[in-house]
Amino acid sequence: MDYVIGGGLAAFIIYAAKKWNKTEKEKIQHTFQNIGYVVKDKEPKLFKTHKSTTHTLYTYHVPYGLVDDPKLEVLEKVLNKPVKVSFANGKLHIKVYHSKLNNNYSYDSFESKGKWIVPIGKTYDGSVYHDFDDIPHMIVAGSTTWGKTVFLRMLMTHLIENNPNGVEFYILDLKGRLAFNRYRNLKQVKAIAGDYKESANALKKVKKSIDKDMDYLRSIDAENAKEANIPTRKFIIIDEAGELKPDKSMSDEDKEYTKKCQQILNHIARVAGQIGYKMIYGTQYPTKEILDPQIKANALARVSFRLATSVQSGVAVDQPGAEKLECKGRAIYKTVDDYIVQTPFISKKEIWERIGRYENDPSSKEDQKTRKNTVHFG
């Protein structure tokens, strides 16, 4: 009798599993019904299924009048898998990934792609890179401890490793010069500023260099650095741009310095990108007041780590989502398209193992001579 009961229970479990353990396709179709993704009772119809090693792509014909809908984001919770929804050529594409991104990808797992091409991170479909010669300016946003400064250091490391004699850095480290002071003796670092006066002085030198390079380009009838075969690229890194916003507590002198900084940064954003000057504009607090419209309009690459609110995400990457990023180093990377990436991780120890050989000895007469044009502040 016990055997019969056990057999009946097993049969019931199998029956229930078939009835309630639905396939992905069935779950998606039921979700359409439950969220009202229909037009006059007409639902999307599955047109094609494509399976790969990383994902399954479901393509649907949709009734006229249906468009991409934010409510479809619920599919990620329904399927308990990463999902990317897109709408193109009148068809709905739902890409369901087989596994989630890891929470850590080492820097050395990324290939070197070229002089000014830097790794941004891993997506569900592979590695993503950014070419600073194609898109010269970048905004990097993110709340404290979520990966922004580690990312900036990684970019510096990669650019120095690939261009030890062809890259220069001007760094506005407006958190008291604590994040980048260690880099001050690298031969590639031409200035590190930690306050308003130092920042204004450093940027004045950048402006003078821009004017000189523009005169040279005009003299040879060239339009950009590539055409003129200029080998050097100059990166202006700002970490924390929010400090450049004039504040009532500032002295009149500091207000003038911040005003000068903003003027020159706007000039760099507008006219200097194609002549070899690249701006990386970092902030913890992306607001309309901090992200100057001219900088935002010309910084067509955006990287955002975790932010406090969807409003901040909207300012940083023109869409919500950064407020939902779930782990350190996870970011939204956006140019024309947008990606969820896990950015490369590199420790301080590894950074100096890779670039420490480019550090000058400040007590050496020879190094003092070679760095006579370098701006040292503080």
The pLDDT tens digits for 237-271 are 999 999 998 888 899 999 999 999 999 999 999 99
Which domain does 9 fall in, by range? Answer: 2-97
Does residue 50 sit in the same domain as residue 192?
A: no
Residue 154 in domain: yes
Contacts of 212 (CB under 8 A, 6+ apart): none
Annotated binding residue 147: yes
Does residue 233 sit in the same domain as residue 280?
A: yes
Annotated binding residue 352: no
Question: Which two tokens mark 130?
Answer: 């950014």
Q: What is the per-residue pLDDT for 7?
A: 52
Annotated binding residue 232: no
d(CA 162, CA 156): 10
Annotated binding residue 31: no
Instruction: Indicate if the pLDDT at residue 13 is higher than 90.
Output: no
d(CA 69, CA 58): 16
Annotated binding residue 276: no
Does residue 121 sit in the same domain as residue 90?
A: no
In this prediction, residue 232 has a pLDDT band, given cuts at 50, 70 and 90, of very high
Q: Residue 34: what are its φ and ψ, rounded to 5°?
A: -70, -30
The pLDDT tens digits for 118-140 are 999 999 989 999 999 999 999 99
In this prediction, residue 378 has a pLDDT band, given cuts at 50, 70 and 90, of very low
d(CA 355, CA 376): 20
Annotated binding residue 144: yes
The beta strand positions in the chain, using DSSP E, are 45-51, 55-61, 83-88, 91-97, 105-106, 117-123, 126-131, 138-141, 167-173, 189-193, 233-239, 277-283, 301-304, 330-334, 338-342, 344-345
Annotated binding residue 148: yes
d(CA 22, CA 305): 35
Instruction: Indicate if the pLDDT at residue 63 is higher than 80.
Output: yes
Residue 257 in domain: yes
Sign, CA dihedral 156-157-160-161, equals: negative
Annotated binding residue 112: no
Q: What is the per-residue pLDDT for 68?
A: 75
The DSSP result for 184-198, as a single string, is: TTBTTEEEEE-SHHH
Q: Which residue has the higher pLDDT, 52 or 17?
A: 52
Residue 377 in domain: no
Q: Which residues pair with 234 in a beta bridge?
A: 168, 277
Does residue 76 sit in the same domain as residue 190?
A: no
CATH number at residue 53: 3.30.980
